[in-house]
Structures are given as C-alpha cells and as structure tokens.
Amino acid sequence: MKAISLFSGGGGMDFAARSLGIDVLFANDVIPETELTFASSFPETDFHLEDIRQISKFPSVDLVTGGYPCQSFSLGGNRNPANDPRTFLFKEFARVVDTVKPKYFVAENVSGLKSIQDGNWLKLQLDTYNEIAGVGYNIATAVVNARDYGVPQRRKRVIIVGVRKDLGVYYHFPKPTHAKPDIAAKKGLLPYASHGEAIRHLPLDVPGEYYERPHDPEGNFSWYYMSRNRKASWLEPSYTIVANFRHTTLHPASPTMKLLWSNLADGWKQKWEFSSEYEHLLHDPTLPVLEKPRRLSWREAALIQTFPEGYEPAGKLEKKFEQIGNAVPPMLMRAILQQIVSGEGLLQFPSEHEQYLTVGKQLSLLSEEQDIEPIES
C-alpha cells in the first residue's frame, strides 16, 4: 500500500504505517523542525514544508492519513472553534481525499471534538466527508483510548475512517487488547501497560532533557502546576503526554505531593510540597527514586508515546515536546491500520456502534465513556 501523510508532525502515524509495510510517499507540515525530523526518520518520503492550502498536486495512493490541528477542540484550548482559522483545516484534508480518491482515509482528533457545542463540529466534519463527490465513502468513527491497545498512556481520541464505497465493505475498529488487571484476567486480555516500566531502563539524571523554571521564586513547580495532580502511579498508564513542555507530568519516581494549605477563595493560591514518601516503593522496593522531583524528559515522553528507541525529533527542547505531544501514538495507529492491511476490519456489514450511516442519528453513540467494546461498566 502507498500513503499520503498530512499534518504529519513528528511522524506518529507514519511509524505505524511503515511498520505495516505501507510506503509513505508524501508528507506535509508547516512546522520547520518537522522537515528535519522526517529527513532523519523517513528519508525516503517526499516531505513538503508548506501550507497545505498551497499544495495542489498529490501522488496516487491507497491511503490518506492525518491528524489536523485540534487546539480549538481541546479541553485545554480556547474552546471557540469558529474564531480559530485552524478549525477549518479539516476541509483541506477532505480536499486531498476528494482529489486523490484513495481506497481509505484515517483522520484523528481530540476527544473534545465530539462534545464541544453538542458535537456540531464533529457532525460538520462527517458531513463534509460524506459529501465528497464521485465514489463516496462508508465512514466509521469512534472514541478510542490508547491505553486499551497497549500504549502506557491514558489518551482518548476521535478516529474517523473512510472506506471507498465501491469496495463494498465497512471498517470495524479493533477490539481492546488491554484492560484493568481484574477485568483483564476475566476477559483474557492483557493488563494496562505500566509507564514506569516503559522508561525504567533510561537514566534518571538527564539535565537539559526536561523543562525547568530557573531563578523562579516559586521553584520548579508553581502552585497551579502542583494542584493539577501531575503524578500518575508507576504501575499504571501515564496521564496524556501533552505538547507543552511546561505542563508535562512528573516522572513516576518522584516523591509524593502533599497539600499544606489552600486559599482559593482569596487570591487563588495553594501551598504544596513534596514529601519524603515514594508510594511506588510499596509495590516494589527495588524501583528507582528521584530525590529531586522533575518532569518527564522528552526521551521518556517519546517512549510513553510508543515512538521507537532512538527516535529524536529535531529542534530545541520545546519543539521536541511539541512534536512528541501532538503525535498519534504509533502503537495505537498500528492497531487502527492493521484492520485495513490485514482485512480483518473490513466487513460487508456496518457495526451498529461505530458506523455513521446517518450522521445525526449516530452522534449520540459517542458517549463520554464508550469504548469500542464496553469492558468497564
């Protein structure tokens, strides 16, 4: 199979594609560092550092993938899509699909897309894909959580998959392979992957690879940062790896945080401190500890995102985190694409809970807690 990669970023979708034997012929982004990242990781790909709105010629391929900008739909964003020009870049993705008419397309966005303004922005995107002229596409969409597919990270995303109608099949999402330990044992699944174990082999002393606040009177961690529960348990998946290096979560070997006092009603302030306790040692006293707490390094964040060992995005520290945090975890995207490459997810009938046969009717199926197969109730 041959593919076009749009809004390619650090190459999360493209590592997944390549691992399945898909040849990524063409890639595109506007962030200068991504061109250098692709030159290092995908030297065989024709990379275009250019605004997608200015590109009109594309190779003939079987697949188009892309994670168009999500900031206006994110729970951490401004939540005002109509006034953000990036909101409408999905139309460029649709334009490329309409131009190339591949057999399949896969689009990714944040889970907030399904809830903001009652799902109307998601409906607009699906309507746009439904209106692609000519052959038309059978469209499936679902909210997936990366942890359910072996990624050591909690990360919910909306995935939209289109299959050209003349192929006569519908896409079905892969069933989860991982779950909470007690549920996994009952259902024959694997337990969620530990993010602590995913990075345990890396050195703890890595100055310059994580964000610090030098010369700040509040120290390395503001009260607001501390108030947002930044430390996930060693044995569990991490919290979402974000693109902003200031808000990256704590290394799981850091000591436990304690709230000393809170006065949010008068000045919005709290006082936190790190204790001398390490809760992960209760599970295994041989686990490493950080006497001085710190945020995750870019290298650790990349492994938690399931980028391969040795991967290094180009640019300064801030740009490394931006490319890593904005990426689709390769392991998650591999599970999505594997359904196409193997044919296991291409069936002659739609799935009741995944398929947008009529866009308006099906929107209600994307509930906040719905997984592909409800394994938790």
Q: Which residues participate in catalysis according to the annotation? A: 70
Query: How would you class 326 by CB atoms within 10 Å of its CB: exposed for 0-12, middle for 13-18, buried for 19 or more?
Result: buried
According to DSSP, the β-strands at 23-29 and 46-49 are parallel
Q: What is the residue whose two structure tokens read 């592909």?
A: 372
DSSP, residue by residue, 163-211: EEGGG--EE-PPPP-EE-HHHHHHHT-EEPPPHHHHHTTS-S--TTSS-
Contact call for residues 356 and 123 (beta carbons, < 8 A): no
Name the DSSP class of 250: B
Angstrom CA distances, 316 to 211, 242, 246, 325, stand at 11, 16, 14, 14
Q: What is the residue whose two structure tokens read 């002229």?
A: 133
Side-by-side strand order, sheet with 63-66: 46-49, 23-29, 2-6, 63-66, 104-110, 156-164, 137-145
Give the tokens for residue 51.
């605004």
